Structure 1
Amino acid sequence: MAKRENIGLSRELRQTENRAEEEAWQTLRLLRKEGWPVRRQHQIGPYIVDFAITKARLVIEVDGGIHREQEVAARDVEREGVLRADGWNVLRVSAQFARHGDHLIEMVRAEIKRCCPLTLHPSPQGERGT
């Protein structure tokens, strides 16, 4: 899929997010105040991920029931392998868990701390141009 086509798909996915993704987005946006801008339906290579914190090279995927299906789970494993090989950390959370804002944000903060131990105070300007 060409990058230009993915831009349109990203926009469409943002407009048709499910409830768990929307609730996760409302929670994860709070990380901006801490200098960790979060992008939703963000393109990385040929993939569009649910959420990405590019400064931390962290992908957050919200998995609903369809991700338990064998074919979808196999694609998820392949996709995660490609992302990890490209230097991304991948955090998968269930849709049910994603709807618990306090737990979700603490898990993401812990993952940022684990994967970015030298980045104590990210720039509050955000990540324009990345």
Structure 2
Amino acid sequence: MRNDATAAEQLLWQCLRSRKLDYKFSRQMPVGPYFADFLCRELKLIIELDGASHDLSIDHDARRDAYCRSLGFQILRIGNDDVMTNLEGVVSHIRAMLAQTHPQPLPPAGGE
């Protein structure tokens, strides 16, 4: 699957790989019987890129999303067209999602 990546997947992978957004992402990773386009295990976040083929698999995508959510994953769906025409905006949106998902540190011990 990695060798058959779409242009949008290849482009987004260049932005996600090597902890460029401070978190480790893997691509085409199994989650139960399904595969996630991009997976951040630390934050339990899945990024799915949707192209024309996803229009034909709405039921499959819904079952996959429900399964992944039942395991505690959040799913961010992004259109291939958005990646190809607005990569900066897509990366900004992912950064915001990461900041929102990031577990907050505990307050200092001892109180006031």
- TM-score scaled by length of structure 2: 0.84
* CA RMSD in angstroms, aligned pairs only: 1.5
Using the TM superposition, give the Cα deviation of residue 34 of structure 1 relative to its aligned residue in structure 2, in angstroms: 4.4
1:118 alignment counterpart: 104
Structure 1: 5+ residue runs without aligned partners?
1-12, 120-130
Residue 57 (structure 1) aligned with residue 48 (structure 2):
no
2:87 alignment counterpart: 101
Whole-angstrom distance in 1 between the partners of 2:49 and 2:21: 22
For this pair of structures, how many residues does the alignment match?
104
- SS of equivalent to 2:42: helix
Whole-angstrom distance in 2 between the partners of 1:45 and 1:113: 26
Whole-angstrom distance in 2 between the partners of 1:105 and 1:56: 17
Whole-angstrom distance in 2 between the partners of 1:34 and 1:18: 21
Structure 2: 5+ residue runs without aligned partners?
106-112
- TM-score scaled by length of structure 1: 0.74
Residue 89 (structure 1) aligned with residue 77 (structure 2):
no
- SS of equivalent to 1:37: coil
- SS of equivalent to 2:58: helix
1:128 alignment counterpart: none
Residue 38 (structure 1) aligned with residue 29 (structure 2):
no
Whole-angstrom distance in 2 between the partners of 1:84 and 1:58: 10
Instruction: Among all aligned residue pairs of Structure 1 and Structure 2, give the percentage whose two residues are the same amino acid.
Output: 30
Kindly provide the amino acid, as one letter, of the partner of residue 90 in structure 1.
I
Range with bigger deviation, 57-66 or 110-119: 110-119
